Amino acid sequence: MKQKTQVADIDRSLYDFRFEEDAADFLSSGITPEIIREISEEKGDPAWMLEFRLKSLEIFSRMKMPVWGPPVDGLDMRNIVTYIRSKSRMNTDWNDVPEHIKETFERLGIPQAERESLAGVGAQYDSELVYHNVRKEVAESGVVYTDLESAMHDPQYAEIIRTHFMKLVPPTDHKFAALHGAVWSGGSFVYVPAGVRLDIPLQSYFRLNAKGAGQFEHTLIILEENSDLHFIEGCSAPKYYEAGLHAGCVELYVGKGAKLRYSTIENWSKNMYNLNTKRAVVEEGGRIEWVSGSFGSHVSYLYPMSILNGRGASAEFTGITFAGEGQNLDTGAKIVHNAPETASHIDTKSISKSGGISTFRSAVTVHENAVGSRSSVSCESLMLDGRSRSDTLPVMDIRTDKCDIGHEAKIGRISDDAVFYLMSRGMDEQAARAMIVSGFAGNVSKELPLEYAVEMNNLIRLEMTGTVG
Amino acid sequence: MATVQLNQLPVPTFSWLGVNGTERELYNGPADEIAVSGAEKPVTRIHIAKSANISVSGSKKPQLIVMNADAEQAVIRTDVHAESSEQIRLVQIIRGGKNVLELHAELAENASLELIQIYLNPADCVSGAEIHMNGRKSAFTSNIGYALADGNALDLNLNIVQRGKKTVSDTTVRGVLRGQAKKIFRGSIDFQNGAAGASGTEQENVLLLDETVINKTVPVILCAEEDVVGSHGATIGKIDPAHIFYMQSRGIPEAQIYEILAQSQLGSIVRQIGDAETEQAVSRLLGRESADE
């Protein structure tokens, strides 16, 4: 009798450790004007920010839940704690970070990565940054890498924050953007001056330790003309039975001729609702590159958007989504061509197994003024069993004739011919199938820095037994 | 007239794109009741000048039904039932007018439906088709062509539900847009659980001839079965400059080149009709409408 090949769920044991909360400030669950005022007071917001938060709350209250996408009925906002401050304040010396937090990040490999391959690191634990550091030579080049609250209170950057904060993703964008505007806390601010090119990446790592909580960090990155940055974002949380919520926001401003690569390995636990919003605006000749690996969460809505506003601006999105048991991951990308001769490319892979649901959703819009623009979209889906589901929903909205737009999508299972070919070269069937699945994910792993490619390959740990039925 | 929701995507997407469906006031004038059966004759030609409810059933012999619709305003509903091993070819030619078309088809084991739709300058046409491939090894082929000029609007929705094992669907869509033409094509292949061994392909090719056109393309694959092969593709854009250069080098004026390429875009669809009389008539119409531009 044939035995079905088994592909294991992602091994999450690395991420599923946790410490009891020792928070100094643990606000009540739910979202009310009183809670918003408490958060604002705790953080010492300027008056405009308190006003912004309260307006966002109003918008949140009147906006409806999305009528498309995975169900979010398991998320009861009345039970979500929106703000938790650790006893530890922000540190720039790793030795000053409390032991249990230090241990958390050490087990996730963050300090080691900083020593070996990063220009700077930020670490957020629940609602607040607990550590932020940048190499001396990087700071001396004029690069600013700090937590958003510090930047907001620094006279040198306060006006930049005020004029850029939630301008790309306004609270009216959708219900969870409004929620973010009301309760945001933590996150990073990066400023790269004109002409500065960082050879090694900066990284922020977000860890949500508390149960029944939300994390709402805000990342704001500004690249001036002809600058270059690789920014890496990592996220994880231990598993609880209570629903958790991540509604972060990322706003990226890429100046003329600048290049930004934004890499994310998202590995939230399977009780999390990941309702994150990411958006970049790219000026003339600039380039945004998104590299995205979505492995965790119970439900995910994630579609980084690139607005190509300057002539010759370009965007590339490379992503992989792995949906296992109990997961409904709705991911993709949005591109807006809003200037002549802009170019975009979307290349995604998705794998569904053990009843997991993976949906690729994209939107490419080419405006009247985007003459001479080019776009190509490629999405491939692999179904590993008949209990799972994989959908693709791309949309192309084209409003000029002077453009070239292409789209292709494929869905299927592991090809028997490919397995046969590899076996004819001396491989056993298990190794052949493992190689095919690894190769399927290869387009993303080769775009990641080596240590993250290794992490991703560890995440997709394949156990192959027997032959296929 | 009653306002109704039409052409709903089987799974909605971002609301701001305006592609999840459309709304129209449905004309509710008198409708003809027409029944077509392959048992009567192999080729049936129907001229439709007002609303009609058409039911099509197959027979042991292959049959061809040609519908030529030039109503100013009508609702045309067509129900197709292809029983075991029956073969039906349905050709729908829609010219001008503000029309709503609804097609519902059920295919039993080994049954096949070949659908050819050609839209020539519809003023405002909403056309939805739902094909249920319930029977094992049932087959569905569709060739859809459209030529839209300034002020024309076409809203297409093709939803192919592959439920039976080893079902095969193949969709080709080719079109030309000019002036301020607006077109949306939603094409969905829905592999349901149990459709083991099924395959489905879909390809749209759109030629844009003016900078004021609006084209929306939504190629969807829904998949709840492991053992299937599905693919879709779309190419949207202007005429390849290499083609223009080649034809200019053969002495053809540039204006004429556009007409030739626009006609050839739909030519491959017209040749699929399989009824010489209809093919010639459609080709004449295509040539005349190009010349009128």
User: How much is the pTM?
Assistant: 0.90
Do residues A334 and A462 both lie within one domain? Answer: no
Q: Is A409's CB within 8 Å of B219's CB?
A: yes
Residue A291 lies in a domain: yes
Do residues A372 and A445 both lie within one domain? Answer: no
- To test the contact with chain B by mutation, choose from A301, A357, A400, A437 the residue with the greatest count of B C-beta atoms within 10 A, namely A400
- Which chain A residues contact residue B193 at CB under 8 A? 386
Do residues A411 and A437 both lie within one domain? Answer: no
Do residues A374 and A422 both lie within one domain? Answer: no
Do residues A64 and A207 both lie within one domain? Answer: yes
Rounded Cα distance between B289 and A455, Å, is 60
The position carrying tokens 């938060």 is A53
Q: What is the pLDDT of residue B76?
A: 95
Number of independent structural domains in chain A = 2
Last residue of a domain, one of A397, A415, A433: A415
Residue A17 lies in a domain: no
CB atoms within 10 A of CB A103: 13
Rounded Cα distance between A466 and A444, Å, is 28
Rounded Cα distance between A122 and A110, Å, is 9
Is-contact A396 A428, C-beta < 8 A?
Answer: no
Rounded Cα distance between A376 and A101, Å, is 44
Q: Is B223's CB within 8 Å of A381's CB?
A: yes
Shortest Cα–Cα distance, A78 to chain B (Å): 26
When mean pLDDT is compared across A85-99, A304-318, B131-145, the lowest value belongs to A85-99
Distances (CA, A) of A275 to A150, A213, A390: 25, 14, 20
Do residues A334 and A351 both lie within one domain? Answer: yes
Distances (CA, A) of A172 to A178, A391, B42: 6, 28, 59
- Which chain B residues contact residue A332 at CB under 8 A? none
The boundaries of the domain holding residue A383 are 25-415
Size of interface A-B (CB pairs under 8 A): 145
Portion 395-414 of A in contact with B at CB < 8 A: 395-413
Kind of pairing between the strands at B22-26 and B2-6: antiparallel
Q: What is the pLDDT of residue A462?
A: 38
The answer, for A363 touching chain B at a CB cutoff of 8 Å, is: yes
Taking only the tens place, the pLDDT of each residue in B70-121 is 999 999 999 999 999 999 999 999 999 999 999 999 999 999 999 999 999 9
Do residues A436 and A400 both lie within one domain? Answer: no
Q: What is the pLDDT of residue A433?
A: 74
Kind of pairing between the strands at B2-6 and B139-148: unpaired
Report chain B's mean pLDDT, rounded to a whole number.
92
For A370, nearest residue in chain B (alpha carbons): B211
- To test the contact with chain A by mutation, choose from B221, B235, B243, B261 the residue with the greatest count of A C-beta atoms within 10 A, namely B221
The identity of residue A289, as a single letter, is E
Phi, psi of A114 (to 5 degrees): -65, -45
Q: Is A409's CB within 8 Å of B231's CB?
A: yes
Residue A11 lies in a domain: no
Q: Is B233's CB within 8 Å of A389's CB?
A: no
Residue B196, classed as helix, strand or coil, is coil
Taking only the tens place, the pLDDT of each residue in A187-201 is 899 999 999 999 888
Structure ipTM: 0.92
Kind of pairing between the strands at A389-398 and B214-223: antiparallel
Is residue A14's pLDDT more than 70?
Answer: no
Q: Is A391's CB within 8 Å of B222's CB?
A: yes
For B212, nearest residue in chain A (alpha carbons): A400
Q: What is the pLDDT of residue A88?
A: 60
- To test the contact with chain B by mutation, choose from A380, A407, A410, A411 the residue with the greatest count of B C-beta atoms within 10 A, namely A411
Shortest Cα–Cα distance, B218 to chain A (Å): 5
Q: Which two tokens stand for residue B74?
A: 């009508």
The answer, for A388 touching chain B at a CB cutoff of 8 Å, is: yes
Domain boundaries, chain B: 2-239
Would you state the torsion angle of the CA atoms of residues A69, B9, A280, A52, taken in this order, to the nearest 10 degrees? Answer: -60
Nearest to A401 among B14, B213, B229 (CB): B213
Do residues A69 and A135 both lie within one domain? Answer: yes
